[in-house]
Amino acid sequence: MSESIVPPEVRPKPAVPAKPPHVAAPSPTAPHGPSGLGGGVGVDRVPGLGHSGSGSTLLGYIGIDTIIEQMRKKTMKAGFDFNIMIVGHSGLGKSTLVNTLFKSQVSRWSSGWGGEHKIPKTVEIKAVSHVIEEGGVKMKLTVIDTPGFGDQINNENCWDPISKYINEQYEKFLKEEVNIARKKRIPDTRVHCCLYFISPTGHSLRQLDIEFMKHLSRVVNIIPVIAKSDTMTPDEKNEFKHRVRKELETYGIEYYPQNEFDDDMEDKNENDKIREAMPFAVVGSDKEFQVNGKRVLGRKTAWGVVEVENPNHCEFALLRDFLIRSHLQDLKEVTHNIHYETYRARRLNDNGGLHPISANNTQDSNL
Ligand code: GDP
Ligand code: MG
C-alpha cells in the first residue's frame, strides 16, 4: 500500500549530503570498517559502508553515525541516575568532598541530626537526592551517607547495614524487572560507586579499612581515597599512597576500575594509569581564596593555600575527572553488568526460577 504513495520519480532529495565534511573517508585498514561488524564473518560488504568501488551509484553517506546524536537526545530527555555512597569514620571530610565534587550543598543536610555532630550508636544510612542540570542534561544524584561507620569502640561487622542497603537496592531493581507489567524505565537506586575514605595517618591501613573493602568490593565499585591529604607533606603523601597500594594488593582487594573488567587494550592502558595513581590523595573545601587574582576553592595551611583544583597541590581534580568526566557511565555499567548480574543470577537460582520474591528476603550470602 505504501509503495504506491511515493512513485520513484518523485523521490525526495536526500536530506543529507553524499558525505558530510566531518565524516572522514574510511581507510581500508581502519578497525571500524564493515569488518568490525562481526569480524568479517558472514557480513557482506555493503556499498556506502566504507567500500569505495569506483563508479557505484549507491556510494554515499547512510547516516549510521547519527545514532550518537539520537542517543544524546534520548539521554537528555530521560536524564539519568547516579548514586554515590560515602564511607569512612566521622570527621574525615566526606560531606565536604562530595559538596566540592558537585559544587553544591548536596550532603550538607545528610547528617540529619539537627546540625549537631553527634555520633550515632550504630551505622546509619542516609540517602539524599538532588537533581543537577548541566548543558541540558539532568542527573538525579543520590548521596548515601553512612554516619557512625568506624566510630564505635567495637567496629566488628559495622559494614553489615551498608551491605544490606546495597543488596536491598539490587533486590528492588530485580523485583521491578521480573514484574509482568514492568515500568518502561526502572528507577535505579543501586549504588554505582562507594568512595572509601582512608585516614591520613601516614602509617598503614586499619584492620577495619581492610575488612570493609575486602567484603564490599565483591558487591559494589569501591574507590579508595586518602582523606584530608593537606595534613601530610608531599613526601609523606607519596610514601603513604605507595604503602596503601601495596597493602591493597597484598590483601587482594579489588577496587574500581577492576583489572578483570577492562574491555580492550585501550581501556587497559587508560585504567592502568589510573590504578597506578590510586588511591587519590584529596582535599575538600567550601571556602574560596584569592590566589594570583583568581578566586579558588582551597584550605589555608602553614605552607599557604592548598588549592583544591590544582593538580600540583592535591589529586581532587584527578578524582573528579575520573569519577565524573571519564568513568561515570562505566561505573553504572559495571554495577549493572557485573555486581547486579551476580546478585540477580544467584537470587533467581536460589529461588528456583522466577518465583515472586519477598521484600524482606534480600541476600547477604556473598559477603
Ligand atoms: P565528615 O564527618 O566525614 O562528613 O566530615 P566533614 O565534611 O563534616 O568535615 C569535618 C571537618 O573537617 C570540617 O571542619 C571540615 O572543614 C574539615 N575538612 C573537610 N575536608 C578537609 C580536608 O580536605 N582537609 C582538612 N584539613 N580539613 C578538612
Ligand atoms: Mg558528614
Q: 196 forms bridges with which residues in the sheet? A: 87, 224
Report the pLDDT value the prediction gives residue 45, as an integer from 0 to 100: 53
Burial grade of 47 (CB within 10 A; 0-12, 13-18, 19 or more): middle
Per residue in 74-95, pLDDT tens? 988 999 999 999 999 999 999 9
| Cα–Cα distance list, 124 to 219, 257, 362 (Å) | 19, 27, 18
Burial grade of 49 (CB within 10 A; 0-12, 13-18, 19 or more): middle
| Cα–Cα distance list, 39 to 29, 35, 52, 68 (Å) | 13, 5, 19, 22
- Report CA(101)–ligand 2 centroid distance (Å): 14
Per residue in 126-153, pLDDT tens? 999 999 999 889 999 999 999 999 988 8
Instruction: Name the residue at shortest CA distance from atom 22 of ligand 1.
Output: 228
Ligand 1 atom closest to Cα of residue 231 = 26
- The ligand 1 site (C-beta within 6 Å) comprises 90-96, 228, 230-231, 283-284, 299
| Cα–Cα distance list, 59 to 18, 52, 162, 360 (Å) | 8, 7, 58, 60
Report the pLDDT value the prediction gives residue 182, as an integer from 0 to 100: 85
- pLDDT category of residue 250 using cuts at 50, 70 and 90: very high
Residue 39 φ/ψ region, left for φ over 0, alpha for ψ in the -120 to 50 degree band, beta for the rest: left
Report the pLDDT value the prediction gives residue 180, as an integer from 0 to 100: 87
Say whether pLDDT at 285 is over 50: yes
Mean pLDDT across 208-212: 96
Residue type, 300: K
Mean pLDDT across 15-23: 44
> What per-residue string of b and e applies to 347-361 under the rule 16 or more CB within 10 Å gives b?
beeebeeeeebeeee
> Which residue reads 570527621 in cell numbers?
91
Report the pLDDT value the prediction gives residue 115, as an integer from 0 to 100: 43
Report the pLDDT value the prediction gives residue 356, as an integer from 0 to 100: 52
- The share of the chain scoring above pLDDT 90, in percent, equals 63
Instruction: Name the residue at shortest CA distance from atom 10 of ligand 1.
Output: 91
Instruction: Name the residue at shortest CA distance from atom 17 of ligand 1.
Output: 93
Pocket test for ligand 1, best of 96, 306, 313 (most atoms within 8 A of CB): 96
| Residues near ion ligand 2 (Cβ under 5 Å) | 94-95
- Report CA(97)–ligand 1 centroid distance (Å): 8
- pLDDT category of residue 122 using cuts at 50, 70 and 90: confident
